[in-house]
Amino acid sequence: TLATIVFFIITIFSQGLRLPVLLFTPFAIPSDAIPDNTPLSSISSAPFGYYSKAAIVADAPGCAAQGRKILERNGSLMDAAISTLLCTGIVNFHSMGVGGGFLMVYYKASENRTYILDARETAPANATEDMFVDKVPNIHVHGPLAIAIPSELKGYYVAWKKFGTLPWSDLFEDSIKMCREGTPVTPTLDTILKIFGDRLPVGTPLWHLLHNESEGRLKTTNEIVTRPELGDFLERVAADPEALLNGSLVKEIADDLAEAGSIITLKDLVDYEPLWRPPLEMPLRSKSVEADLRLITPPPPSSGVLVGLALNALANFNYTDGNNFTGNATLYYHRLAEVLKFTFAKRSLLPDECCNNKEDEKLLKSLMTLETADEIAAKVTDNGTHNTSYYGSVFLPPSDQGTAHVCLVGPNGDAISITSTINTPFGSCVIGSRTGILFNNEMDDFSTPGSPNAFGLPPSSKHFIRPGARPISSMTPIIITNASNGTLRVIIGAAGGSRIITSTLQAAYANLNLGVNMKQAIDSIRIHHQLVPDELHYEMEMPSTIVERLNILGHNVIEGGMKAAVQGIEVSGSPCPGESEGHCLLAYSDYRKGGDHAGL
């Protein structure tokens, strides 16, 4: 047909000139001209877990099983979480570890109450907002000045003192053994080394750790990495955790940092405190039902509120299992990208911490309302895109990368969602000689005055370095419950920098609204748009016809980029296969990172 011919002409022509989409909107393309669907189905062979009592999902292979072992010994869910995280920090040490920090959501079923633990790293007392201005390139990314106050271990100890039941030392047994005997390089770490290996500082402890010295090359999949110094340090932590607070262990960390050239002092480490914060609880739409769910997430520095905002905005388009986007996937992905642009415009306004003033408090309350979500949906135009300024305030948001995520549901109905990070792959690349700790580079999560990005956007003053500040993060640990009775529905989160927000959103939306299970929701083809740069990234499995049509609508489409890995547990009201009663915990670890699940 004429319309089909016009479509192909436009596709070819627009690739080079990127002409305004409104020139082409009169040429409607019949629905049968070119297939336009991408079914929500499992596209990987990664296994899906069904558990009737408890479930654990981690993005490092073998680590969920360590958490299960703790539950089998009658440990608490918090005990299992700490053991799982310690393991993950050893297997996926490029993403997280005891040299970083975390954000945790803990839902206690017996109280119908949520606890938020903010163990995010902070800027040291000697930090200044201009400490990276006109300095050596990448000094804010690699090296001692990039390190923020590490907080992971203190966070574990605070969480265990409140909710742990097993002896503290029991939680460290497996991780100490792993450090000494070694763990194999995973396919994920192998990929990271292929991408970032040539950036490792030559001759440093990290460089030696990751090199096959006899063959003069980087280690590859299944070669063993041992960390005996870290194992010895963890053994000392297991024996005397109080020494982390103001004793020999915290002094060891301080001495390592001083030796490396960090500005973090012993006083910084002693003064640091993980914070119990009030949760953000916002109404959440599911399918066509108004606010029948409740989304629970930490306040800033987490970005979880943005996932809730975007979920509520997308609900306006009424995609359901009976009215899904099969047959018009282009329009779905276009609307999704537009909602993401509005969402990331709001992210640049989020404060580092909530809520230091009435303006920040007002903003946060606004983002939690259905009215703000409706306003975003109303501004989405189905026939094209707009200039960046159309979507809201345009400031350069801080960038973050890396991370790891763990989800748990216990036999008593408790649930935990935790995201942990050392920021970019291998953090600061600094390993302490006494402790074996690989330290974070969280100072890179702050913005620097007078440093616009490649697109000329200025940084937001909300995100400048301040002593004691905790930088804004894409981390979005989330628990979703039924609003009427508080029963669990979804436990979810992701690893992968700014893609955490977009990937968690898409997986949660598909599971809650499109009639697919957690595996299908996480496996499904994703896009990513963060407003700046104005690029729509899509996964390679995306059908080419959809990519072409998104380009015609005005999107600057780009294949690939770093991926996020989502971890999720869906709580079904129906019994597990082979069982006649009870509920079922459907657990899945994203095939994109190669984690796994375990349970009871």
SS (H, E, C) 480-495: EEECCCCCEEEEEEEE
CB 51 within 8 A of CB 72: no
- Does residue 301 have a cis bond before it (omega within 30 degrees)? yes
- Does residue 355 have a cis bond before it (omega within 30 degrees)? yes
Q: Is 403 a catalytic residue?
A: yes
198 to each of 80, 331, 441, how far by Cα in Å? 36, 41, 18
H-run or E-run covering 538: strand 536-538
In angstroms, the CA 291 to CA 114 distance is 19
Q: Which residue has the tokens 């000045």?
A: 145
CB 418 within 8 A of CB 406: yes
Question: Could you say which of 343, 403, 448, 476 is catalytic?
Answer: 403
Amino acid letter for position 312: N
Strand residue runs (E) in 189-287? 211-212, 217-218, 224-225, 275-277, 280-286
382 to each of 12, 344, 469, 538, 553, how far by Cα in Å? 21, 19, 41, 19, 9
Amino acid letter for position 179: C
Residue 420 in tokens: 């942990």
Question: Which residues fall in the annotated binding site for L-glutamate?
Answer: 120, 421-423, 445, 473-474, 497
- Per-residue pLDDT of the chain (600 residues), as tens digits, is 434 333 333 333 333 333 333 333 333 333 334 556 665 666 798 989 999 999 999 999 999 999 999 999 999 999 999 999 999 999 999 999 999 999 999 999 999 999 999 999 999 999 999 999 887 888 888 999 999 999 999 999 999 999 999 999 999 999 999 999 999 999 999 999 999 888 899 999 999 999 999 999 999 999 999 999 999 999 999 999 999 999 999 999 999 999 999 999 999 999 999 999 999 999 998 765 576 899 999 999 999 999 999 999 999 998 865 455 556 889 999 999 999 999 999 988 888 876 678 888 999 999 999 999 999 999 999 999 999 999 997 666 666 666 899 999 999 999 999 999 999 999 999 999 999 999 999 999 888 887 654 444 567 778 889 999 999 999 999 999 999 889 999 999 999 988 999 999 999 999 998 888 999 999 999 999 999 889 999 999 999 999 999 999 999 999 987 789 999 999 998 999 888 888 999 999 999 999 999 999
Residue 271 in tokens: 């003064």
Question: Which residues fall in the annotated binding site?
Answer: 120, 421-423, 445, 473-474, 497
In angstroms, the CA 147 to CA 431 distance is 11
